[in-house]
Amino acid sequence: MASFLQVQGLRQAFSAPGGDELVVFDDINFEIERGEFVCIIGHSGCGKTTILNVLAGLERPSAGNAFIDGREIHGPSLDRGVVFQSHALMPWMTVRGNIGFAVKSRWPDWSRAQIDAHVQQFIDMVHLGGSEDKKPSQLSGGMKQRVGIARAFSIQPKMLLLDEPFGALDALTRGNIQDELLAIVQQTRQTVFMITHDVDEAILLSDKIFLMSNGPRAVLAEVVENPLPRDRARATMHHDPRFYELRNRLIDFLVNRSKTYAMA
Residues with Cβ within 8 Å of residue 148, at least 6 apart in sequence: 83, 84, 87, 88, 89, 165
CA gap 223, 227 in Å, rounded: 13
Low-confidence ranges of the chain (pLDDT < 70): 1, 261-264
Sorted by sequence, the CB contacts under 8 Å of residue 85 that are 6+ apart come out as 163, 164, 165, 167, 168
Q: Report d(CA 190, CA 80) in Å as an integer.
A: 11
CA atoms within 13 A of residue 255's CA, in its CB half-sphere = 7
Spatial neighbors of 8 by CB under 8 A, at least 6 apart, are 29, 64, 65, 66, 67
Euclidean distance between CA atoms 250 and 238, whole angstroms: 15
User: For position 203, what pLDDT does the model report?
Assistant: 96
CA distance 56 to 18: 32
The shares of helix, strand and coil residues in the chain, as percent rounded to the nearest 5, are 40, 25, 35
Residue 26 is predicted with a pLDDT of 94
Is residue 234 within 8 A of residue 175, CB to CB? The reply is: yes
* Domains of the chain, first to last: 35-59+74-211+221-239 (3.40.50.300)
